[in-house]
Amino acid sequence: MIEKSQSLPQVAVVGLGKIGLTLAAVFANNGYKVFGADKNKQVVDRVNQGKSHITNEPGLNQFVQDAHQNNTLIATDSNVEAVSKANIVVVIVPVLVNEDNEIDYQYIDAAVQDIGAGLQEGTLVIFETTLPPGDTQNRFGKKIEEVSGLTMGEQFYLAYSPERVYSNRIIKDLQHYPKVVGGINKKSVGLASDFYKQALNCKLIQVSSLETAEFSKVAECVYRDVNIALANELAKFAEEKNIRMSEVITASNSQPFSHLHSPGIGVGGHCIPIYPYFFVNKGLDQGLTPLSREINDSMASYAISKIEKRIGSLENKKVLILGLSYREDVKEPTKSTTLLLLEQLRHKQANIFVNDPHFTEGEIINHGGLPLSLDDKLIEEVDVLILQAFHEEYKEINFKDFTKCKLILDGRNKLNEEEISRLGIIYESIGN
């Protein structure tokens, strides 16, 4: 049973994942008593030992440890209990899409049911999870009203403030990015703004409605996806014309209105490949938004076709993919391009290996890959290398050790082309 604090303002953070735990730990070091709730008992136990279950987020372990020592962060597996102790509830439980790209609300719906059950009159509820516009009020606010019997905007307050941070620098981003805040009414926006000013010490951008705040976060993701798709389209065209896209980008972006992004083998992660569907599934189903998803998801097969053009069929060839994570230096396999590569290389009947220093062998196997250490003798047998995520560790790779390697596909345009070519290995990339 967690005790209610007598002196500090109390916050419940529902969902103690990568983002939720970081928020909880930061709030708990900035003058709040935080009750963190998560359905995962292991997460709760770890936090209650003063330890972070997220291992590669700079500064987080220390924040959790300090908050634990000061008794300002307590975790529970009961959302109802945490919410019942709080004046402010922050919700950061994910909304995902399923295999057919339909919106999957199962986790957050369950959390919202609990929030309704535990809510006390006068509490401010803030959603930070990326949501399809309209959901804070129409789906979740209404559900909380139904379960709690309290009226939104009057007996409880409702705000939305999207989480915009980037993994590996969440604590920094929380301070440096302005917090966009929308509310169901003025009182809700005012309460949420006061909270963030103290809890995060960041700048605020107040917008006129919940929907505007929700829309702004999805729009950020669509912007990135569309611009990466444009870079990919231009990179493919540049290849046809025998022009180096990297040179084009440097030249074009010297003009202040040009912000060409980098082309690459694909877009992965929690955000960019998922949130455009929050618009697509709610009516924006024509035009650049869905097209960009298609273009970016086609880059893995484009890369494979480039390899086949140079060295022929991949049947029985040994292909090593570097990086299971969707991007460099994080342990995040969600929607990683490696998953697309694995699927397509299986169709080609290649022998596929995966290396990623952030994952155990068991984890790589669970994601459908055959693990291969870079110290293993078998790397001498590898026919093709595909760089998917350019982890720090890969900066030191000695390609001389890949004695039979015929081709390296540099999916992130990061490797040294000259060095690779000097070894007699074909260098391929996206756009160069």
Ligand X SMILES: NC(=O)c1ccc[n+]([C@@H]2O[C@H](COP(=O)([O-])OP(=O)(O)OC[C@H]3O[C@@H](n4cnc5c(N)ncnc54)[C@H](O)[C@@H]3O)[C@@H](O)[C@H]2O)c1
Positions that interact with ligand X (CB under 6 A): 14-20, 37-40, 43, 79, 92-94, 107, 110-111, 129-130, 163-165, 167, 270-271
**Beta carbon nearer to ligand X, 127 or 402:** 127
**Complex with ligand X: residue 16 or 199, whichever CB lies closer:** 16
46, 52 contact by CB (below 8 A): yes
Q: Which is nearer to ligand X, 10 or 130 (CB)?
A: 130
For residue 248, the minimal CB distance to ligand X (Å) is: 30
The least distance separating ligand X from the CB of residue 194, rounded to whole angstroms, comes to 22
Minimum distance, C-beta of residue 232 to ligand X, in the bound complex (Å):
22
Backbone angles phi, psi at 355, to 5 degrees: -120, 135
Closest CA to 37 of 72, 73, 62: 73
C-beta of 86 vs 425, nearer to ligand X: 86
C-alpha closest to that of 165 among 321, 240, 270, 314: 270
Closest separation between CB of residue 261 and ligand X, Å?
18
Nearest alpha-carbon partner for 37 in 105, 92, 106: 92
Select the residue whose beta carbon is closest to ligand X and give its number. Answer: 17
3-state secondary structure of 407: strand
In the complex, the smallest distance separating the C-beta of residue 117 from ligand X, rounded to whole angstroms, is 12
CA-based nearest residue to 21, from 191, 9, 201, 50? 50
How far is Cα 380 from Cα 392, in angstroms, rounded to an integer?
A: 22
Residue 76: CB minimum distance to ligand X, A: 10
Q: Give residues with Cβ within 8 angstroms of 247, minimum separation 6.
A: none
Nearer to ligand X, 20 or 132 (CB): 20
Pick between residue 83 and residue 229 the one whose CB is nearest to ligand X.
83
Q: Give the number of C-alpha atoms closer than 13 A to the C-alpha of residue 248, restricted to the C-beta side.
A: 19
